Amino acid sequence: MDIEKKLGEKTKEALLFLYNASIEKITFEKTNPDFEGDLTLVVFNFLKISKKKPEETAAEIGNFLLANTPEVAGFNVIKGFLNIVISDAYWLSYLKSISGQPFINAELRADAPTVMIEYSSPNTNKPLHLGHVRNNLLGYSVAEILKAAGNKVIKTNLVNDRGIHICKSMLAWQKWGNGETPESCGMKGDHLVGKYYVEFDKHYKKEIEALISQGKSKEDAEKQAPLMLVAQEMLFKWEANDEKVRSLWLMMNNWVYAGFEATYNMLGVDFDKIYFESKTYLLGKNIIDEGLAKGILKRRSDNSVYIDLTADGLDEKTLLRADGTSVYMTQDLGTAVQRAEEEHFEKMIYTVANEQDYHFKVLFLTLKKLGYDWSAGLYHLSYGMVELPEGKMKSREGTVVDADELMQEMIDTAAATSKELGKAEGLSKEDSEKLYRTIGLGALKYFMLKVDPKKKMLFNPAESIDFNGNTAPFIQFNYVRIQALLRKAAEIPGLESTAPLVFPVNLMSKEKGLIIRLYNFNSILKEAASEYSPALIANYVYDLAKEFSQYYHDVPILKEEQKDLILFRLHLSKTIGTAIKASMKLLGIEVPERM
RNA sequence: GAUUCCAUAGCUCAGCUGGAUAGAGCACAAGUUUUCUAAACUUGCGGUCAUUGGUUCGAAUCCAAUUGGGAUCACCA
């Protein structure tokens, strides 16, 4: 049984017995490392019922717990803090109970809740950049965490494959591309299409400048620039199913998909279901009609349709233009309803940057007002943007950090560092390249996931991402040390023991600390799942690896003289290795066997 | 103007649901390897938790105001 739960119940008994009072909720904290003990009960809240001094109250409860709870080995009182020492026997029995168990139970109950999580959702007019990388890693990791916490997860991607931005790339390619293809120029398809998106912008800006110098306002110039007019015409043709435009669109989008696939593969993310906006952008209009019929939506005199959310502290939101065409919100309404009809889900998570907080507030509230019960399960996983030292990344100004380039740089750095340290000696070319990928991409993923998703994060291209300290390579390194120990142990004659493990009677403080960290895994996983925060897992696994690193440094394992102790320490190390690997998997990070 | 998010060491970040002397990593300084992989370990340096006020036995944490910064408030996506 969970030791905190048990102590909580015993404490309730103590309060009833000592002070004839019942308290609903008892919580314990980790004991401050400066004091002896494992769990601490703060008794200030109980002074009202005990009517005694803090020290006295704490001592009385401590004595009760000591007398009535076999797991409690002792206690000490400092001011209002009751520091409780849990017996080594309890921690050892806990370690025994998880022996050989996987840290994550993959088996799902038949009635496991279904969670749909949408992430990535790129535009198909340019390659992925660092902002997408955060989105992808976050979405993938949250999906893994939710799975591990016992949910059935459906990963989806809503690809924005139509719209004016795509037409801009198409038009520029048509005008200045000379028929070049990814094959002919050896460029990844998404990068090639992105090149023409930038090309469009370059010429477009010149046209605007020319118009402004002719005396037009900036606003008019942007609308009247010939290139923009042609791009818009292209969009109309696309919507009218014009054959030529459609086939150009299809060809260029396919280039992009091939490029994205390569990036996704390298990042290690995947999807169960991919939606395309070209197929969903017309959805939602019927919902508008229903909403109008119910009187929830209103029509303006110019025929446009809106919902009035001013009573909820938001604004009036237009849902259909005066000409009857949809806006972004319309198709988001439609897509949500379509998904709810296709799949039963308890939760649907949208992984989208926090610049769209307002959009999702409106979306969820509108669905609620339209009477969809399932809208209560919608959640916007709003994450902070990745910023550069000079501020926000801007694709058109070329200040973006390209995803493919960054990943390659990380792998190259990993390779250079590995060679420098002589870590890759004796590995085949294939194995060493796999190792560099594992380390380089691990460093990148950990760097992005260790930060609280809600907070914006800074990336400074001038400072390379670290491989030392609080990083994935450090965690991987400690996993590797454990595997090296286990390999060596297997070669030591006579060490292999088929007899049951003999656990020591007393634990070293580092050993106890490590077992307690293992014990904490489940509650951290639970919290990470309910907070949608891979950062909690990242911090956890770093702390575990760091504590192991200290243990490894201070305590002999294979060099220990007593065979029983060697086997015990190996067993503990192996269990820690399993926990590290499982935690890293939740972050989408692999661990190597040697490095 | 309205709404909203943020502010912790030189830098990047933990510290959520109020608890003991605010923690890591990087950087900087010094040390540790005939001993299981030194991408390591140890020690030192470094803080008015933006400011002010409030609630409380107790506030980095909750509330309010102020200052500074970001985002949003389109018949854009």
Asked if residue A167 belongs to a domain, the reply is: yes
**How large is the greatest C-alpha to C-alpha distance in chain A, in angstroms?**
92
Which residue did the predictor score with more confidence, A555 or A100?
Answer: A555
Q: How far apart are CA A85 and CA A336, in angstroms?
A: 52
Question: What does the angle CA A332 – CA A383 – CA A345 come to, to the nearest 5 degrees?
Answer: 45
CATH of the domain at A429: 1.10.730.10
| Nucleotide nearest A42 (Cα, C1') | B19
Q: How far apart are CA A94 and CA A230, in angstroms?
A: 70
Q: Which amino acid is at A419?
A: K
Sign of CA dihedral A227, A233, A236, A242: negative
- Centroid of chain to Cα A464: 22
Domain count of the fold of chain A: 3
Asked if residue A568 belongs to a domain, the reply is: yes
Chosen domain end from A277, A302, A321: A277
Straight-line distance from CA A452 to C1' B16, in Å? 11
Asked if residue A308 belongs to a domain, the reply is: no
Average pLDDT over residues A80-108: 90
- 3-state secondary structure (DSSP) of residue A391: strand
| Nucleotide nearest A413 (Cα, C1') | B39
- Going by their DSSP bridges, the two strands A273-276 and A114-118 should be labelled as unpaired
Asked if residue A290 belongs to a domain, the reply is: no
Judge residue A302's burial from the number of C-beta atoms within 10 Å of its C-beta, 0-12 exposed, 13-18 middle, 19 or more buried: exposed
Residues in chain A: 595
Straight-line distance from CA A308 to C1' B4, in Å? 20
Q: Nucleotides of chain B within 7 Å of a protein C-beta?
A: 3-7, 11-16, 19-21, 24-27, 35-42, 57-58, 70-77
| Nucleotide nearest A328 (Cα, C1') | B77
pLDDT at residue A512, rounded to an integer: 94
Chosen domain end from A277, A312, A331: A277
Instruction: Residue A545: name the closest of A511, A512, A576, A510 by CA.
Output: A576
pLDDT at A396 over 80: no
Chosen domain end from A46, A66, A86: A86
Do A201 and A81 belong together in one domain? no
Q: pLDDT by residue (tens digit) across A103-137?
A: 887 778 888 999 999 999 999 999 999 999 999 99
Strands in A425-467 per DSSP E: 457-458
CATH of the domain at A65: 3.30.1360.70
- Contact in structure between A7 and A28 (CB atoms under 8 Å): yes
Asked if residue A45 belongs to a domain, the reply is: yes
Instruction: Residue A263: name the closest of A129, A353, A394 by CA.
Output: A129
A540, two tokens: 């956890």
Asked if residue A514 belongs to a domain, the reply is: yes
- Domain residue limits at A19: 3-86
Give the containing element (helix H, strand E) for A116.
strand A114-118
Straight-line distance from CA A18 to C1' B16, in Å? 33
Do A441 and A575 belong together in one domain? yes
ipTM: 0.95
Q: Which pLDDT band, with edges at 50, 70 and 90, does A456 fall under?
A: very high
- Across A230-244, A340-354, A380-394, A536-550, least confident range: A380-394
Do A39 and A175 belong together in one domain? no
User: Could you identify the residue whose CA is nearest to the C1' atom of nucleotide B14?
Assistant: A539
Asked if residue A525 belongs to a domain, the reply is: yes
Do A573 and A470 belong together in one domain? yes
pLDDT at A1 over 70: no
Asked if residue A135 belongs to a domain, the reply is: no
Do A562 and A414 belong together in one domain? yes
Q: pLDDT by residue (tens digit) across A29-48?
A: 999 888 899 999 999 989 98
A294, two tokens: 């119910």
Q: How far apart are CA A174 and CA A172, in angstroms?
A: 5
A334, two tokens: 């439609």
| Nucleotide nearest A549 (Cα, C1') | B40
User: Could you identify the residue whose CA is nearest to the C1' atom of nucleotide B58?
Assistant: A44
Do A80 and A171 belong together in one domain? no
Q: pLDDT by residue (tens digit) across A499-520?
A: 667 788 789 999 999 999 999 9
- Contact in structure between A80 and A43 (CB atoms under 8 Å): yes
Average pLDDT over residues A469-474: 96
- Contact in structure between A173 and A181 (CB atoms under 8 Å): no
Straight-line distance from CA A563 to C1' B35, in Å? 18
Do A461 and A580 belong together in one domain? yes
Q: Which pLDDT band, with edges at 50, 70 and 90, does A487 fall under?
A: very high
Q: How far apart are CA A124 and CA A225, in angstroms?
A: 23
The secondary structure of residue A397, as a DSSP letter, is G
Straight-line distance from CA A344 to C1' B1, in Å? 43
pLDDT at A458 over 80: yes
pLDDT at residue A563, rounded to an integer: 87
Do A182 and A75 belong together in one domain? no
Q: How far apart are CA A227 and CA A197, in angstroms?
A: 12
- Contact in structure between A536 and A453 (CB atoms under 8 Å): no
| Nucleotide nearest A527 (Cα, C1') | B16
Straight-line distance from CA A528 to C1' B5, in Å? 21
- Going by their DSSP bridges, the two strands A273-276 and A298-299 should be labelled as unpaired
Do A433 and A564 belong together in one domain? yes
Q: pLDDT by residue (tens digit) across A417-446?
A: 999 998 888 889 999 999 999 999 999 999
Report residue A116: phi and psi, to 5°.
-100, 130
Straight-line distance from CA A193 to C1' B18, in Å? 54
Judge residue A167's burial from the number of C-beta atoms within 10 Å of its C-beta, 0-12 exposed, 13-18 middle, 19 or more buried: buried
- What is the dihedral angle through the alpha carbons of A53, A55, A56, A58, rounded to the nearest 10 degrees? 120
The position carrying tokens 């993959």 is: A106
